[in-house]
Structure 1
Amino acid sequence: MSLRTGPVLTAAEARAFHALPGRLRGLGWSVPLRWEEARMFDPGFFGFLGDHAVARFLAWREGEVVGRIAACVPQDAAAPASFGFLCAERDPAVVEALLAAARGFIAAAGRAEMTGPLSFTINHEVGAQIGFHDRPPMLRMPGTPDWLPAMLEAAGLAPVQDVVACTLDVPAERHAARFDQLALKRPADMARLRLRAMDRRDYAAEVARIADLYNDAWGANWGAVALRPAEVASLGKLLRPLLFAGEVVFAEWDRQPVGLVAVVPNLAAAMPADGRLLPFGWVRLAAALAGRVGSARVPMLGITQAFRGHPASALAMGALLREAIGLAGRRGWNSLEISWILEGNAAMRNAMARLPAPVSGRWRIWRGTTL
């Protein structure tokens, strides 16, 4: 049977690209919202595309779409070229053909390597699952089949990094009580520490502050890519619905920014099976956005680099975690996933162990040549 790949050029091909995860869900692929994913490829909405060359590819066999992939090349030569949005039938020939299409696009742009799966960068969806395939789905933490890693490596890619998720059982947590005891012993320090919730009345400026803190706190991490202003504005639009029940909390020390935590309801379990909002997919999703779910995700928890090793660091981290746990308790969210965390981030892994929040998921990133 003939297999061919080609770029997405028409509206019909774009619809096929975004419909494929719903068709192949039974193989272990998570299913994003089609309209939201499509906006990630819309230059009129997603400012990220202004300084990144992006192409989508489909694989066909006998006229039927059997796989998809996207390739991304940033104008910034220091930022990695990537592949992502991968979804395919269980066939190594399909996966290899898709990777070859991405390699060709990236090589034509003058890049010798590609990293992935990243959709599009490490700031977005990351990696392919390594074990933990029975974990409940979590918002924007991709579900992928257990056979995918072997196929990626057979196609010439080598592992370069793992990230993990850690999940806290909220009713059984012990952190809040321990932190309250610590706070009583350090009244002078607690007087210098201030927590405040995001001011929704000043939404655009607050989103910019979040981006500045993110770029600082995560800027020295492996694979870090700074959020740019045009991308930030677009992500702010995507974040807004999640804050109906979720929250972003800033920590300040003597009025200087120290860190932040974000907590959002887990929409993944409420996602429509085919990724469509209409006709009825919006009903469950609306309830999830209102917080009527059993779990939540912490996608951001970090301390600025200037305060690493400072007495304020541990205190601010403890206070931010307490706030996240408190919000989860008030909303009735029984589990809180902190994700993702670089496997080698010893300080964060130790903090998770103390909660305790054991590792509940793992994703791997690969790199390969394009020549």
Structure 2
Amino acid sequence: MSALSIRPVRSKADRKAFVDFAWEVYRDDPAWVPPLKSEVHALLDPNHNPWFGHGRAELFLAERDGRVVGRISAQVDDLVQDRMPATGQWGFFDAHDGDTAAALIRAAEDWLRVQGMKHALGPISLSIWDEPGLLIEGFVETPLVMMGHHRPEYRQWIETAGYEKAKDLYTFALDIRIDMIPVIDRLIKSGEKNPRIRIRDVDKSRFDEEAALVLDMLNDAWSDNWGFVPLTEAEIAYAGKKLKPIIVGDLVKIVEYDGDPAAFMITIPDVNEMIADLNGTLFPFGWAKLLWRLRKVTTRRVRVPLMGVRKKFHNSRLASQFAFMLIEFTRRVCVSKYGVYFGEFGWVLEDNQGMMSIAQLPGAGVNHTYRIYTKKL
């Protein structure tokens, strides 16, 4: 076998090769959905992604005979250090073979050591808010928007490199036509009769203000979760801008308790269905196709990527009541107004007992498992 070289990305052509490599790896995989290349480039660009305000990254290409055969990122997030000192991460991991995979992981680890890191987590691309974890179960079904897809052999290659499980993340699929079981239905109806509880739709005419409110609740609700990294003000604005085109007003709901925002749930159409035939590019006709498809919910599937209840309500009956009311109110709209019958909930940390119990709704089951690995450097 020809000699393998690992080198950092330095030029615009290198960056293009880094992004484009996914198309070579997954071109024959029917479950892979080509992401929009412009979105991937923006994610990796310090001039666009505010993550780089508190993080730094190095991208690597693996080459053999002048041909790209693998890629990986290595990154250090200063905000991660507050909760996991001396812990770096790697992601965007793809390779044609085990030898290349091993060399790429070593290159990422070496870079992390130079940065003073003593532990590595991966794959995470680039942050816990982007695409965390390696797909280890659920390879046949196409992932929904904002979730990753990987080759089955990656698991062995990563574990051979000395990595062990840190956490598993689950997504749950469910037929949302199935009614709630009586005990949950009674809880929902009780909440509907409670004058202190109000469920409202997000107001898209005040989108920036509403996005900031929701993401503030998210930072509070998720603050005790493993791997949590708070979104900065710049990231909140950036996330709001990215989400706005796919937000449907009556699918994003806020719970107010005594007039104060207490919980939220974001449900979005499966954008992967909208972009699957675009092959990653919006030119020359992709823009028109996507804008047309974004006019209304026409996807077969919807996903709940984010849900949260303010921390002061955790471990109370109200937390469950808020959550089930949000789910039920959204379910009604999906079925009666949009004719959507398939929903996905997650990701959910394996040891987040509160969310795990909520996610296991009638007719629900785990459809994808993602694993984040750890290793002492």
Q: In 2, Cα distance between the equivalents of 1:350 and 1:357?
A: 11
Partner of 2:266: 262
Partner of 1:3: 4
Q: Cα deviations across residues 245-292 of structure 1 (Å, max 9, x unaligned)?
A: 773211111123221100011122333464222234445544543322
Q: Cα deviations across residues 30-66 of structure 1 (Å, max 9, x unaligned)?
A: 5321100111122222111111111211111110111
Partner of 1:55: 58
**1:1-371 paired onto structure 2 within 5 Å:** 1-26=2-27, 28=29, 30-76=33-79, 77-78=81-82, 79=84, 80-89=87-96, 91-171=97-177, 173-175=178-180, 181-185=186-190, 190-244=194-248, 247-269=251-273, 270-272=275-277, 274-282=279-287, 284-290=289-295, 291-329=297-335, 330-370=337-377
**Which shows bigger deviation, 29-38 or 292-301?**
29-38
Secondary structure of the corresponding residue to residue 301 of structure 1: strand
Q: 1:23 to 1:283 in 2, by over 3 A?
A: farther
CA contact (8 A) 2:320 2:358 kept: no
The one-letter code of the counterpart of 1:69 is I
CA contact (8 A) 1:271 1:285 kept: no
Q: TM-score, normalised by structure 2?
A: 0.91
CA contact (8 A) 2:218 2:307 kept: no
CA contact (8 A) 2:171 2:367 kept: yes
Q: In 1, Cα distance between the equivalents of 2:232 and 2:252?
A: 20
Secondary structure of the corresponding residue to residue 275 of structure 1: coil
Kindly state the Cα deviation for residue 95 of structure 1 after the two structures are TM-superposed: 0.9
Kindly state the Cα deviation for residue 297 of structure 1 after the two structures are TM-superposed: 0.7
Q: In 2, Cα distance between the equivalents of 1:288 and 1:105?
A: 42
The one-letter code of the counterpart of 2:179 is R
Secondary structure of the corresponding residue to residue 191 of structure 1: coil
The one-letter code of the counterpart of 1:110 is G
Q: Which runs of 5+ in 1 are unaligned?
A: none
Q: Cα deviations across residues 87-116 of structure 1 (Å, max 9, x unaligned)?
A: 221x11111111122112211111111111
CA contact (8 A) 1:218 1:224 kept: yes
- Length, aligned pairs only: 367
Q: 1:272 to 1:70 in 2, by over 3 A?
A: farther
CA contact (8 A) 1:253 1:312 kept: no
Secondary structure of the corresponding residue to residue 122 of structure 1: coil
Secondary structure of the corresponding residue to residue 137 of structure 2: coil
Kindly state the Cα deviation for residue 21 of structure 1 after the two structures are TM-superposed: 1.0
Q: Which runs of 5+ in 2 are unaligned?
A: none
Q: In 1, Cα distance between the equivalents of 2:139 and 2:260?
A: 42
Q: In 1, Cα distance between the equivalents of 2:249 and 2:65?
A: 46
**Which shows bigger deviation, 203-212 or 141-150?**
203-212
Secondary structure of the corresponding residue to residue 24 of structure 1: helix
CA contact (8 A) 1:27 1:145 kept: no
CA contact (8 A) 2:6 2:60 kept: yes
Q: TM-score, normalised by structure 1?
A: 0.92
Q: In 1, Cα distance between the equivalents of 2:195 and 2:315?
A: 19
Q: In 1, Cα distance between the equivalents of 2:312 and 2:140?
A: 39
Q: 1:35 to 1:186 in 2, by over 3 A?
A: closer
Kindly state the Cα deviation for residue 137 of structure 1 after the two structures are TM-superposed: 2.4
**Which shows bigger deviation, 139-148 or 43-52?**
43-52
